[in-house]
């Protein structure tokens, strides 16, 4: 099977590419570094030539402003147009649990637009909704920090290891399209503010974490359950502590 992974040089993309190549598939990893630009469409026709399946794990370079919405809008319009011309038989997209519930977030509003355009494109598809990656906790901290204080919602989250999401995406990519979605989450539930407090403490980072129900999450205010998956979500194997102990952040030297 000829598979193109757009965003294939990133965290999840590299894992997906490795898994599929080990199964004997012909896989190419496309990104700006290989000459494929989703925002302008440059290089897409050449990058997708001959593809049976396209996996889109690209991501916006920003998270909390309208630039993220505009990225997702331009990227999906260009990608779907190129896929139609290439005769792609299955579009697989990585999305986020909570998409469609948090319209105040430009990032999630952009993801919701992507999903609507995928569903109406006529190209068979599978959408994989994932909860926050453990690796993404660092970005949450970055965007929530004010001075030496991190203000975070106490909303519940079930974060997941990126490699567990990559495994799910690699699996569905070689199966028949669902023309629907699945959800992938971690094995444990915690309040965002409490989990990140554990994270910060373990890293011995010089920050104070405060729980605030009004703290924005990339432009949106959360209720307790806004970021939780459905009951039928697939569960990753790796929990937070096990991930942390094998990660680059464990007892980081600040």
Domain containing residue 139: CATH number? 3.40.50.720
The residue whose two tokens read 């026709």 is 45
Does some domain include residue 252?
Answer: no
Task: Give the tens place of pLDDT for each residue, 123-142.
Answer: 999 999 999 999 999 889 98
Does some domain include residue 251?
Answer: no
Does some domain include residue 25?
Answer: yes
124 Cβ contact list (under 8 Å, min separation 6)? 89, 90, 91, 177, 179
Q: d(Cα 51, Cα 87) in Å, to the nearest integer?
A: 8
Asked if 199 contacts 248 with a C-beta cutoff of 8 angstroms, the reply is: no
Asked if 2 contacts 50 with a C-beta cutoff of 8 angstroms, the reply is: yes
Q: Strand 2-6 relative to strand 53-56: parallel, antiparallel, unpaired?
A: parallel
Neighbours of 20 (CB within 10 A): 24
Chain-centre distance of CA 216, in angstroms? 19
Does some domain include residue 254?
Answer: no
Q: d(Cα 21, Cα 37) in Å, to the nearest integer?
A: 23
Q: d(Cα 181, Cα 116) in Å, to the nearest integer?
A: 12
Show the domain range for 77: 2-246
> Which pLDDT score, from 0 to 100, does residue 106 have?
93
Does some domain include residue 60?
Answer: yes
Does some domain include residue 253?
Answer: no
Q: d(Cα 113, Cα 61) in Å, to the nearest integer?
A: 17
Lowest mean pLDDT, pick from 88-92, 104-108, 156-160, 170-174: 104-108
Q: Strand 145-146 relative to strand 190-191: parallel, antiparallel, unpaired?
A: unpaired
Q: pTM, whole model, 2 decimals? A: 0.94
Task: Give the tens place of pLDDT for each residue, 48-103.
Answer: 999 999 999 999 988 878 999 999 999 999 999 999 999 999 999 999 999 999 98
Does some domain include residue 174?
Answer: yes
pLDDT at 253 over 70: no
Secondary structure (3-state) at 209: strand
> Which pLDDT score, from 0 to 100, does residue 252 have?
52
Cβ-in-10-Å burial (0-12, 13-18, 19+) of 201 comes to exposed
> Which pLDDT score, from 0 to 100, does residue 251 have?
58
How many domains does the chain fold into? 1
Task: Give the N- to C-terminal CA distance of the chain in Å, as an integer.
Answer: 46
Does some domain include residue 119?
Answer: yes
């Amino acid at each position: 099977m000829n598979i193109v992974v757009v965003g294939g040089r990133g965290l999840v993309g590299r894992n997906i590419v490795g898994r599929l190549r080990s199964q004997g598939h012909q896989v190419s990893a496309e990104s700006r570094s290989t000459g494929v630009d989703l925002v302008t469409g440059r290089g897409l026709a050449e990058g997708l030539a001959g593809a049976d399946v396209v996996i889109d794990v690209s991501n916006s370079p920003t998270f909390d402003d309208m630039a993220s919405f505009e990225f997702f809008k331009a990227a999906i319009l260009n990608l779907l147009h190129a896929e139609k011309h290439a005769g792609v038989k299955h579009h697989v997209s990585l999305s986020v649990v909570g998409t469609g519930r948090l319209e105040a977030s430009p990032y999630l509003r952009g993801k919701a637009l992507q999903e609507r355009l995928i569903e109406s494109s006529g190209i068979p598809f599978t959408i994989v909704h994932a909860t926050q990656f453990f690796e993404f906790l660092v970005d949450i901290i970055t965007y929530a920090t004010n001075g030496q204080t991190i203000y975070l919602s106490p909303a519940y989250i079930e974060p997941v290891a990126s490699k567990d999401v990559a495994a799910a995406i690699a699996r569905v990519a070689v199966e028949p399209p669902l023309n629907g979605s699945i959800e992938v989450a971690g094995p444990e539930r915690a309040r965002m503010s409490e989990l990140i407090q554990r994270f910060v403490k373990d890293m011995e980072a010089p920050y104070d974490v405060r729980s605030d129900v009004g703290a924005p999450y990339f432009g949106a205010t959360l209720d307790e359950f806004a970021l939780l998956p459905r009951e039928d979500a697939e569960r990753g194997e790796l929990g937070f502590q096990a991930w942390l102990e094998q990660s680059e952040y464990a007892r980081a030297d600040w």
